[in-house]
Amino acid sequence: MCYAIPGKLVEIKKNIGIVDYFGEKKNVLLDYGNAKVGDYIYAQGGILVNTISKREALEILETWKELFFELKKTDEKLAEIEASPSSKNLLAVLQEVNLNKTLTKDELLYLFALKGKNNLRLLYETANNIRQKTHGNACCVHGILEFSNVCENNCFYCGIRKERKLKRYRMGVSEIIDAAKYACGELGFKALVLQSGEDNWYTEDKLTTIVSAIRKLGVLVFLSIGQRNKTTYKRLYEAGSRAALLRFETSNKEIFETLRPGTTLASRLELIRYLKELGFILATGFISGLPGETSEDVINNILLTKSLKPDMHSFGPFIPAQDTPLKDHATIRPDEMLKTIAISRLIDKDSNILVTTALETLEKEAKRKALLAGANSLMINVTPKAYKNLYRIYDGRVDKDINKNIKETIAILRSLGRAPADLGL
Ligand code: 5AD
Ligand code: SF4
């Protein structure tokens, strides 16, 4: 099964390749390998990750041919704006978005405070319309493998913090590589997120072995391993990883330093900026609903995310975890997350926006609702059954069988007219 459509490389300009997908041209970075004009390739996050034989490509494209255009039509229809506004002020703000004006903080706060079915519908529809115009119907579907729930930190909000009594696991190096082979081979993922707590048992050497082996599978290796040394990240980039997920968690320095003892917002931001400088595809963002947070903090979080120039926004709701200092702190309402998604889309048209599993825990219909409010990326958990339930960063995580989850996700994407593919930059 495939989550990305192969395209044909039709032109090369320096290190940029122009790829044809059923007549639609996209740019991809020719970062590794030596693909030639005429080759069929897979791209992830705008980077060429693999070439495949013409025979295999044509076979896949044959099955996609009609569906590709059908899906596009469905998406275009669903992206039309139908809601009738009940507020002149809202219309005026959305008009500024259409004119590519930068919204003021007051305007962003106004959008975040928006109420009423019609107004919210208009906000979400506008965000979805922008998503459709800027990204078309492509939707990244990355696999995520949680390879260790050991963490040396004690973040107050997190269910795998060091002090929590919890059964811990570490997947061995070859066990991780085998799980990646299954996810990328059998299940067909073209991008794999490797996630863990901050666990120095995985030395630079071990991580390098893992990254090089998975890179050889012809997929995008996406790191989510927390704050490690700059030199470690540099080596992992050289070993073939091209994407990194590191949230700054909150833009509020006081909240950050209270909830993440022993760490500073400044050093986290410095590392995030460094990852971007190294050339990683960058995913970053925050947790919404931490204690003490105001609406202004949420808007600051959205603005800080944008200022880091991420390729992907990754933010999700705080959900309490047992035996942690924040076990009794309430979570936020799903519509606040949907508003956050829509506002992020209005102010950062080009970036990808992820629907997080935490949102799916809060709201059963999260994927559909979020994809219709400006989001365009998903992750599917491919952690082996034996470990999945132990990666308890928060309580009540949706635990679906991998194959069932893939099936349901594809069904949702089809019904929304989205192609589970990454069609490049
Ligand atoms: N609720 C939601 N997200 C959480 N994370 C950690 N703890 C929680 C929680 N209780 C998120 C953090 C971290 C990511 C791996 O998980 O944002 O960066
Ligand atoms: Fe560790 Fe990250 Fe959890 Fe903090 S949020 S305890 S760094 S896994």
CA 34 to chain CA centroid, Å, is 28
Alpha carbons within 13 angstroms on the beta-carbon side of residue 28 total 33
148 CA from centroid of ligand 1 (Å):
15
Three-state DSSP at 305 gives: helix
Confidence (pLDDT) at 388: 92
Confidence (pLDDT) at 307: 98
Question: Is 155 a pocket residue for ligand 2 (Cβ < 6 Å)?
Answer: yes
Confidence (pLDDT) at 199: 97
Candidates 146, 151, 158: which one to mutate for ligand 1, based on the most atoms within 8 Å of Cβ? 158
Confidence (pLDDT) at 1: 36
30 CA from centroid of ligand 1 (Å):
34
Q: Which residues line ligand 1 (CB under 6 A)?
A: 157-159, 247, 249, 287, 316, 318-319, 321, 358, 393-394
Nearest CA to ligand 2 atom 2: 197
Helix (H) or strand (E) holding 126: helix 117-135
Confidence (pLDDT) at 2: 44
242 CA from centroid of ligand 1 (Å):
23
76 CA from centroid of ligand 2 (Å):
40
Helix (H) or strand (E) holding 409: helix 402-416
Nearest CA to ligand 1 atom 8: 158
Confidence (pLDDT) at 15: 86
Which domains are assigned to the chain? Answer: 7-78 (2.30.30.140), 88-133 (no CATH), 137-416 (3.20.20.70)
Distance CA 396, CA 381 (A): 15
Confidence (pLDDT) at 27: 87
Question: Is 348 a pocket residue for ligand 2 (Cβ < 6 Å)?
Answer: no
Confidence (pLDDT) at 127: 97
Each residue's pLDDT, cut to its tens digit, for the chain (425 residues) gives: 345 688 999 999 888 999 998 888 888 888 877 889 999 998 887 888 889 999 999 988 888 888 888 999 999 999 999 888 778 889 999 999 989 999 999 999 999 999 999 999 999 999 999 999 999 898 989 999 999 999 999 999 999 999 999 999 999 999 999 999 999 999 989 899 999 999 999 999 999 999 999 999 989 999 999 999 999 999 999 999 999 999 999 999 999 999 999 999 999 999 999 999 999 999 999 999 999 999 999 999 999 999 999 999 999 999 999 999 999 999 999 999 999 999 999 999 999 999 998 998 998 899 999 999 999 999 999 999 999 999 999 998 878 899 999 999 989 999 999 987 654 43
Candidates 146, 153, 156, 157: which one to mutate for ligand 1, based on the most atoms within 8 Å of Cβ? 157
- Tokens 């390749």 belong to 17
